[in-house]
C-alpha cells in the first residue's frame, strides 16, 4: 500500500493486553525478542530523526487506563497489534508499514 493519508489519523488509546488476549497473541516485549525489538525501535526512531526513545518503567506496562469501548471497537475493526491504522476497511499494522 503506497497511499498517503489525506487527513491526519485519529489516534485512539486501546488496551493492547486485551487485544492480545482476544487474538491469542502476546507482546514481543515479554519474550526472547525483547532486546532485539527494542534495538530495532530505537534504530528506526534515530533513522527518522525522532530522537532517543524513552522506555517507560516498567515496560511493557499496564494499559488498563485506556477506554474499554476503544479496545472493543479496535477488535471489531480487525486490530491485532499497535500501531495500527484502519483505512477503508484495510488494516495496516506496524510502524514499518505506516
Q: Are 19 and 74 in contact (CB under 8 A)?
A: yes
> Which one has a higher pLDDT value, 75 or 4?
75
CA atoms within 13 A on the CB side of 9: 13
**pLDDT (tens digit per residue) in 67-81:** 788 889 999 999 998
**pLDDT (tens digit per residue) in 12-58:** 888 888 899 999 999 899 999 999 999 999 999 999 999 899 998 88
pLDDT of residue 23: 95
Interhelix angle for 68-77 vs 16-23, to 10°?
40
DSSP per-residue string spanning 39-72: HHHHHHHHHTT-------SSSS---TTS-HHHHH
Q: Give me the residue spans of the domains in the chain.
A: 16-25+33-93
Helix (H) or strand (E) segment spanning residue 16: helix 16-23
pLDDT of residue 68: 85
pLDDT of residue 16: 86
Does the structure show a pLDDT above 80 at 2?
Answer: no
Does the structure show a pLDDT above 70 at 3?
Answer: no
Amino acid at each position: 500500500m503506497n497511499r498517503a493519508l489525506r487527513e491526519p489519523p485519529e489516534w485512539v488509546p486501546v488496551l493492547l493486553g486485551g487485544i492480545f488476549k482476544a487474538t491469542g497473541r502476546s507482546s514481543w516485549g515479554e519474550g526472547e525478542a525483547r532486546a532485539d525489538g527494542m534495538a530495532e525501535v530505537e534504530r528506526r526512531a534515530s533513522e527518522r530523526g525522532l530522537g532517543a526513545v524513552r522506555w517507560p518503567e516498567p515496560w511493557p506496562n499496564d494499559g488498563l487506563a485506556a477506554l474499554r469501548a476503544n479496545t472493543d471497537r479496535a477488535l471489531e475493526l480487525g486490530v491485532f497489534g499497535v500501531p495500527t491504522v484502519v483505512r477503508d476497511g484495510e488494516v495496516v499494522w506496524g510502524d514499518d508499514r505506516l
